[in-house]
Structure formats: structure tokens, C-alpha cells
Homo-oligomer: A and B are copies of this chain.
Amino acid sequence: MQIDHVAIVVQDLDEALQFYGQSLGLTVAERLELPEEGVEIAFLPLGDAEIELLRPLEAQNSIGRYLTKRGEGIHHLCLRVADIEATVAQLEEAGARLAGSIRQRENGTRYVFVHPKSTHGVLLELYQPPEA
């Protein structure tokens, strides 16, 4: 298991890239809009992990409501796992509460969120890459 990414919700992606890209010196590997997920997103690799900057496309989706309520900052922590089914089974066995069930993207990656009530306040994503 390792850290896959730390996601930061921001109001303005250009301004955030000014800091994380220009000032801090990270490289922007990709920037794209994902209308189906309601976000514009920029990926900044950091060793074997990355920082993801998220800008909500609408104030009323879940990221938009988070931004309105909590302001800018870290939105979630994502851990890469080798066997997401096994990890989820283990967590459910231990009584942890998931936020939804395992979902799959077109490229074969699978992911699920663990509810902050079970993680001591952290929205925790578990992610299994297609090649695993």
C-alpha cells in the first residue's frame, strides 16, 4: 500500500497552479475537465505519488459544496492498494463505513471512498490501478 495522491480543492485552478507549479516548482503532467465527475483537475507528480488540484465545475456538486462549506484545502487522501476487494472486505469486517461502493473507470481503475466517520475525519480513497 502506498500514497497515490493528495487531492486539494481550489477556487481557481490558474492561481493554484501559480503556487504549486511556478512557485513550488512542481510539473503539471496533465490538466483536464471531467464533466462526468464535475471537476477540472490538474495532476502534479511528486515521486511515485501526485498532488491533484480539483476545481468544481458547479457550485452544487459535492466538490462545490465542500468548497463552499470548508473553503480551499485538502479534500481527500488516496491510497493505492493491490487488491481493493480484499481491503474493502477487511474494512467492512472491522465495521468501517464506506461512502458508496467500488466503482470502475473506463480504463479499468477501481476506487472506493471510506467515510470520514470511520477514518477520524479523513475522506479516504482506495484505488487499484488496472495493471495490479
Measured CB to CB, the residues of A under 8 A from B are 1-3, 6, 8-11, 15-16, 19-20, 22-26, 46-49, 53, 71-74, 77, 79, 87, 90-91, 94-96, 116, 118-122
With known contacts A23-B90, A48-B48, A91-B23, A122–B74 Cβ distance under 8 A: yes
State the number of copies, please.
Answer: 2
Neighbour of A3 across the interface among B49, B91, B95, CB < 8 A: B49
- Give 17 A-B contacts (CB < 8 Å), ordered by A residue: A1-B47, A2-B47, A3-B6, A3-B47, A6-B6, A8-B122, A9-B121, A19-B120, A20-B119, A23-B95, A24-B87, A25-B90, A53-B120, A71-B121, A74-B77, A74-B121, A74-B122
Q: Which residues of the partner chain B approach A48 to less than 8 Å between Cβ atoms?
A: 2, 47-48
Could you tell me the distance in whole angstroms from the C-beta of A120 to the nearest C-beta in chain B? 4
Shortest Cβ distance from A70 into B: residue: B121
Q: Could you say which residues of chain B place their CB within 8 Å of the CB of A10?
A: 120-121
- Is there an interface contact between A73 and B121, defined as CB atoms closer than 8 Å? yes
Among residues of B, the one whose C-beta sits closest to the C-beta of A72 is B121
